[in-house]
């Protein structure tokens, strides 16, 4: 599901990223890939490390509260750093790219998830689902659903 969202972001924003920020197609593709990798890592890490409230708020259809904005700042800082180093651009341009991409990504997640969802729904979208009792990110999903009493 995350890949579907990222493909939609690329198709809807790719031309804008190239014209507004001077990226070529390869840089645009790399920016989208970096965004996906960063989201997967951050959501998996934060969902087990005390950042769950921020994640849930950020990716819901509801307006961001303080925890959602804090999570957006955390992800945004990571993206700016990675865009700058990987794409060879300055931080100002990287921040603009981050703003454009994350605005679209969070909107698309909110459209898919609505305002009432559980962490397992979000993790399933990010990890691609699979066996909730398995290893890796899907293993985290199994642990979290067990922790919240959902089977």
Can you give the residue ranges of every domain in the chain? 2-115
pLDDT tens-place string over residues 62-116: 888 999 899 999 999 999 999 999 999 999 999 999 999 999 998 888 887 776 6
pTM over 0.75: yes
Torsion of CA 34, 36, 37, 38, to 10 degrees: 80
CA geometry: angle at 110 spanning 106 and 115, to 5°?
Answer: 135
The helices-and-strands tally (H runs, E runs) of the chain is: 7, 0
pLDDT tens-place string over residues 4-24: 889 999 999 999 999 999 999
Residue 115's pLDDT is what? Answer: 66
24-42 CB burial, b ≥16 within 10 A, e <16 = eeebbebbbebbbebbbeb
Say if residue 27's pLDDT is above 50: yes
Say if residue 140's pLDDT is above 70: no
Residue 95's pLDDT is what? Answer: 97
Separation between Cα atoms, residue 139 and residue 38, nearest integer Å: 19
């Amino acid at each position: 599901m995350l890949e579907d969202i990222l493909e939609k972001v690329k198709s809807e924003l790719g031309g804008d990223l190239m014209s507004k920020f001077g990226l070529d197609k390869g840089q645009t593709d790399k920016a989208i890939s970096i965004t996906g990798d960063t989201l997967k890592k951050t959501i998996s890490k934060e969902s087990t490390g005390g950042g769950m409230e921020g994640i849930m708020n950020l990716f819901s259809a509801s307006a961001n509260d303080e925890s959602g904005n804090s999570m957006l700042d955390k992800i945004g800082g990571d993206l700016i750093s990675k865009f700058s180093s990987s794409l060879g651009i300055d931080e100002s341009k990287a921040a603009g790219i981050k703003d454009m991409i994350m605005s679209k990504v969070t909107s698309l997640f909110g459209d898919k998830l609505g305002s009432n969802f559980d962490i397992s729904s979000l993790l399933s979208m990010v990890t691609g689902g699979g066996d909730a009792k398995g290893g890796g990110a899907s293993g985290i999903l199994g642990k979290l659903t067990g922790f919240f009493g959902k089977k």
